[in-house]
Amino acid sequence: MKIRNPFEDIEEPPQIDALAIAAHPDDVEQTCGGTLIRLAEMGYKTGVIDLTAGDMGSRGTHEDRLAESANAAGHLMLTFRGNMRFPDARLENTLAGKLSLAGEIRRLRPRLVILPYWEARHPDHYRCSEIAYEACFMAGLRKLDHYTEPHRPRKVIYSSSYANINPAIVVDVTRQFERRMESLLAYKSQYGASANGSDLFPEEKEIRERLEMTARFYGNLIGVKYGEPYAVKEPVAIDDVMDLGPKSF
């Protein structure tokens, strides 16, 4: 898959159903990748926009990260992946950045958007949440530009695997978990065993254990093996309360 560069590519991106927006390549692979795979298996078209290309990372170059994110996109069964090339590790909420992102949202026209949870240890993660939320709002403004039709996503949910919260939604990703793990291990410059910077990045065994424990913890909350947690800002509506899960006992 070719990683779209919105400042160079002229071809129109495809229309998609669900879009995850994340700060760094390899974020969605650790947070909402199982849900994206599950949606693709159900026949929905899915996409990811990473805001930065990891140019401040201590391992590998940003070209490595982009090539690895293209490989990971295959494992995640994505229809589209783009990278905004915003500055890594010093992400700022600027009007120019939001306008560029809003333009991408108007072209892709997703109904569902998955953002990072609004509180995080890494400033890029919470700033990404803010930038992307505001870009989703701006994308719905008719007079934003003369080139693209307005579009505001129907629903925003927040991927909260990094934050210690009580999630409103847990998606069962038991069958998708191994494929999600493969997508993360596609980032060989980050997770391959290497002496260089090895005390900064968990090696494959450790990252596997950490992600398994997190997914197992959230899966356990809904009575399945592996789960991905989400927060929402609105209450969850349900048509048939008789079907409400998980079971209480």
Alpha-carbon dihedral angle through residues 230, 102, 134, 125, given to the nearest 10 degrees: 50
Measured from the CB of residue 25, what is the shortest distance to Zn ion in angstroms? 9
- Asked if 109 interacts with Zn ion (CB under 5 A), we say no
Output the six-digit token pair for 95.
Answer: 């009007």
Considering the complex, state which of residue 27 and residue 172 has its C-beta at the smaller distance from Zn ion.
27
Q: Could you say whether residue 24 binds Zn ion (CB under 5 A)?
A: yes
Q: Is 127 in the site for Zn ion (CB under 5 A)?
A: no
Q: How far is the CB of 50 from Zn ion (least distance, A)?
A: 9
**d(Cα 106, Cα 99) in Å, to the nearest integer?**
10
CB of 31 to Zn ion, least distance (A): 9
DSSP string of 35-100, one letter each residue: HHHHHHHTT--EEEEEEE--TT-SSS-HHHHHHHHHHHHHHTT-SEEEEEEEPTTS----HHHHHH
Task: Please select the residue that binds Zn ion; options are 17, 27, 50, 228, rule is CB under 5 A.
Answer: 27
Stretch binding Zn ion (CB under 5 A), from 3-11, 17-25, 191-199, 216-224? 17-25
Which residue in this structure is represented by tokens 């995850």? 20
How far the first Cα of the chain sits from its last, in Å, is: 45
Name which of 109 and 127 has its Cβ closer to Zn ion: 127
For residue 139, what are the contacts with CB-CB under 8 A and spacing of at least 6? 102, 103, 105, 106, 150, 151, 152, 153
Please, what is the minimum distance in Å from the beta carbon of residue 55 to Zn ion? 13
Angle 209-124-47 (CA atoms, 0-180°, nearest 5)?
A: 75
For residue 125, the minimal CB distance to Zn ion (Å) is 6
Nearer to Zn ion, 44 or 162 (CB): 162
**Positions in the binding site for Zn ion (CB under 5 A):** 23-24, 27
